[in-house]
Chain A
Amino acid sequence: MSYLKGFLVTFRQIFQKRVTTPYPAEKRAKPERLHGRHVLGRYEDGMEKCIGCELCAGVCPANCIYVRGADNPTDNPISPGERYGFVYEINYLRCIHCDLCVEACPTGAITESKMFEFSFTNRNDAIYTREELLVDSESGKPKQLPWEDWREGEDLNTSGWLRATSPNGDASYEGQIAWSGDLGYGIREAEIGQSDTKTPEEDQ
């Protein structure tokens, strides 16, 4: 009767739960710190965080970032510092989403978002300009480009807050807010686990 065992195995599969997600129609939840496309942040007063220091371009292993800094106009400054990023381009045909630019940024201006589903049809669209990367000057939300597929809530949590759980590996940073405020969100709270005061030994 062991012949029939195999038939039972296949028959039982009919009633089992499917693991398939019908992808473009329905999406699985993304990890909170997924490395998607970049966003350039603004302070709460609407000033740009980027100071045009070009550290991100220097650290980029794929050479995909091009930055030119310029002196802030004295009558109408764009960033709180001396200079601002006057050209800022990221080529997404080259970017490997390693997040080293985010690590390197001294002001937390550049961060990565969860959005990675974009399909442009020419090379010019692949190069995101400063205007496209900057968050909206009113709402502080990232700008959606026509070829990007976003879902509800994916454009949240796109600031230096993302670095909350990796404060340079130094235990003294635990629970401390080491990031600046964002337009539309204010200074975000440290995440659960990042701010609790338990030592790693207690945690285990």
Chain B
Amino acid sequence: MMIVALDPLLSSDIGFSVVAVMLLKVVLAFALLMVSVMLVIWFERKIVADMHNRVGPSLAGPWGILQTLADGIKLFFKEDLLPERADRVVFRLAPYLSLVPAFLSFAIVPIGGDFTNGGDGTVSIFGHRTLLQVADPPVGILLFLALSSIAVYGVMLAGWSSGSKYPLLGSVRASAQMISYEAALGLSMATVFLSSGTLSTSGIVSGQATWNWNLLATGVIPFVIFVIAGTAELNRPPFDLVEAEQELVGGFHTEYSSIRFALFFLAEFMNMITMSAIAVTLFLGGPNGPILVKQIAWVWPILWFFLKVMAFLFTFVWLRATLPRLRYDQLMDLGWKVLIPASLGWFLLIASLNIGKDRGWSTFLVVPIGLVILSLAALLLNGAIKKAKDSSLHAADLSEISEGTDQ
């Protein structure tokens, strides 16, 4: 049973009540995610409007809070167009390919439970001890990486199957961008695994149940890289080249209408929530936080988790309101030449520190040597990049000259 899940709920005999508790958790997680997507879309529109000095949605419900519901109902009743040159099966499949992973990856996030003071993060539901997350597989965060890779297919196939040029361009951009940023994302996560020694999300969170959430090891470079790469992975501004309205109409979802379009939208905002939740889990101690009132102790972890996620969501919106879109070559440069080497370097440094601890080497020796080697590597990389740029510029000059003589 340990192989399936670390949840104490499943380690005993599985009877009707266990199944019922499991079902309850699934339904609750589903409902929570749906409602929060609705609120997040409203939140984003409202905050962006504030930052633009506008009013934003204000008519549907108090402060326009039901705007998303109204939009959803409207989209549901719109005509569902299928382009003539579309690949019918794939075109219909693609929205689900991006929606289902978005749903599933939230399942591994612990949203509550007390991990401090040696607590194992379980709560009691109808007499059963269980974690406040739908599933806690030992592969944990790898599942998230796998699912986010599947989500790339959703975007890519949507563009490809539309049989139209702008969606195709959008999806080509999307697959290149998401794949290259997933490398940086994975490498920055790897540092977290190194310091926690486990892949399971509840294990990572209980490893962070100290006063500083392990920020010393993971908070500096990996966290920053994770946030940048995560923003790119979500295709959110300033990395929204995939759906750049000014260049590609709507990007991969140009040909989509009605409820299928709504599904893409749902997936996009659900991914935003999930990415925030994963970032909180990996770097900011998940639901860990001081319990201020003992009588309602179970509320505090959930509240802390909620506040941390809100901070991330606000940051994403803030980025959108502030930064202009990157050029495509800048995007690729940032991904391959800055983020991946930096996260790899930090990973190696933490790894050598860990090995040094095992072997009993002095930390004061390991860190300087590691830093010297890393800076040498950075210099080499810089030189190589510069050389490559020079030679490509030279080649461009030559080709320009030869074109000139042709005319």
Whether A and B are associated in the same complex: the answer reads yes
- Closest A residue, CB atoms, query B47: A14
Residues in B whose Cβ lies below 8 Å from that of A6 = 322-323
Given A6-B322, A6-B323, A7-B322; A14-B50 close (CB under 8 Å): yes
CB pair B58 A10 closer than 8 Å: no
Which chain B residues (42-77) contact chain A, with CB distance < 8 Å? 47, 50-55, 58
Residues in B whose Cβ lies below 8 Å from that of A14 = 47, 50-51
Produce 1/0 per residue, A7-45, CB < 8 A to B: 101110110101110100000000000000000000000
CB pair B54 A10 closer than 8 Å: no
With A and B bound together, what is the CA distance between A19 and B322 in angstroms?
Answer: 21
With A and B bound together, what is the CA distance between A151 and B210 in angstroms?
Answer: 63
Residues in A whose Cβ lies below 8 Å from that of B50 = 13-14
With A and B bound together, what is the CA distance between A181 and B390 in angstroms?
Answer: 88
Least CB distance from A13 to B in Å reads 5
**B86 interface contact, C-beta 8 A:** no
Residues in B whose Cβ lies below 8 Å from that of A11 = 51, 318
CB pair B55 A7 closer than 8 Å: no
With A and B bound together, what is the CA distance between A6 and B51 in angstroms?
Answer: 11
CB pair A10 B321 closer than 8 Å: yes
Residues in A whose Cβ lies below 8 Å from that of B54 = 18, 20
CB pair B53 A18 closer than 8 Å: yes
Residues in A whose Cβ lies below 8 Å from that of B323 = 6
CB pair A22 B58 closer than 8 Å: yes
With A and B bound together, what is the CA distance between A20 and B50 in angstroms?
Answer: 12
With A and B bound together, what is the CA distance between A11 and B54 in angstroms?
Answer: 13
Residues in B whose Cβ lies below 8 Å from that of A19 = 53
* Chain B residues bordering chain A, tally (CB within 8 A): 12
Residues in A whose Cβ lies below 8 Å from that of B322 = 6-7, 9-10
Question: Which of A10, A13, A18, A19 has its CB near the most chain B CB atoms (within 10 A)?
Answer: A10
With A and B bound together, what is the CA distance between A141 and B50 in angstroms?
Answer: 43
CB pair A20 B321 closer than 8 Å: no
- Closest A residue, CB atoms, query B319: A7
Least CB distance from B227 to A in Å reads 14
With A and B bound together, what is the CA distance between A134 and B395 in angstroms?
Answer: 83
- Closest B residue, CB atoms, query A7: B322
Residues in A whose Cβ lies below 8 Å from that of B53 = 13, 16, 18-19
Given A6-B323, A13-B50; A18-B55 close (CB under 8 Å): yes
Question: Which of B52, B53, B54 has its CB near the most chain A CB atoms (within 10 A)?
Answer: B53
With A and B bound together, what is the CA distance between A116 and B55 in angstroms?
Answer: 26
With A and B bound together, what is the CA distance between A14 and B53 in angstroms?
Answer: 7
Residues in A whose Cβ lies below 8 Å from that of B51 = 10-11, 13-14
- Closest A residue, CB atoms, query B321: A10
- Closest B residue, CB atoms, query A9: B322
Which chain B residues (184-239) contact chain A, with CB distance < 8 Å? none
- Closest B residue, CB atoms, query A15: B50
Least CB distance from A12 to B in Å reads 9
Given A6-B323, A7-B318, A7-B322; A13-B52 close (CB under 8 Å): yes
Least CB distance from A24 to B in Å reads 10
Residues in A whose Cβ lies below 8 Å from that of B55 = 18, 20, 22
Least CB distance from B279 to A in Å reads 19
Residues in B whose Cβ lies below 8 Å from that of A22 = 55, 58
Residues in A whose Cβ lies below 8 Å from that of B321 = 10
With A and B bound together, what is the CA distance between A16 and B50 in angstroms?
Answer: 8
Which chain B residues (302-343) contact chain A, with CB distance < 8 Å? 318, 321-323
With A and B bound together, what is the CA distance between A13 and B322 in angstroms?
Answer: 11
Which chain A residues (148-201) contact chain B, with CB distance < 8 Å? none
Least CB distance from A71 to B in Å reads 56
Which chain A residues (74-122) contact chain B, with CB distance < 8 Å? none
Produce 1/0 per residue, A30-70, CB < 8 A to B: 00000000000000000000000000000000000000000
Residues in B whose Cβ lies below 8 Å from that of A9 = 322
Least CB distance from A30 to B in Å reads 22
- Closest A residue, CB atoms, query B50: A14
With A and B bound together, what is the CA distance between A14 and B52 in angstroms?
Answer: 8
- Closest B residue, CB atoms, query A21: B55
Residues in B whose Cβ lies below 8 Å from that of A7 = 318, 322
Residues in B whose Cβ lies below 8 Å from that of A20 = 54-55
Residues in A whose Cβ lies below 8 Å from that of B318 = 7, 10-11
With A and B bound together, what is the CA distance between A18 and B56 in angstroms?
Answer: 11
With A and B bound together, what is the CA distance between A18 and B55 in angstroms?
Answer: 7
- Closest A residue, CB atoms, query B58: A22
With A and B bound together, what is the CA distance between A10 and B47 in angstroms?
Answer: 10
Question: Which of A9, A16, A18, A22 has its CB near the most chain B CB atoms (within 10 A)?
Answer: A18
Least CB distance from A5 to B in Å reads 10
With A and B bound together, what is the CA distance between A141 and B55 in angstroms?
Answer: 37
Least CB distance from A28 to B in Å reads 15
- Closest B residue, CB atoms, query A16: B53
Residues in A whose Cβ lies below 8 Å from that of B58 = 22
Closest 4 CB pairs of A and B: A10-B51, A14-B50, A10-B322, A10-B321
Q: What are 9 of the A-B contact pairs (CB < 8 Å)?
A: A6-B322, A10-B318, A11-B318, A13-B52, A14-B47, A14-B50, A14-B51, A18-B54, A19-B53
User: Using a CB–CB distance below 8 Å, which chain A residues touch chain B?
Assistant: 6-7, 9-11, 13-14, 16, 18-20, 22
Taking A19-B53, A22-B58 as given, write out 19 further A-B residue pairs in contact, using a Cβ cutoff of 8 Å, ordered by the A residue number.
A6-B322, A6-B323, A7-B318, A7-B322, A9-B322, A10-B318, A10-B321, A10-B322, A11-B51, A13-B50, A13-B52, A14-B47, A14-B50, A14-B51, A16-B53, A18-B53, A18-B54, A18-B55, A22-B55
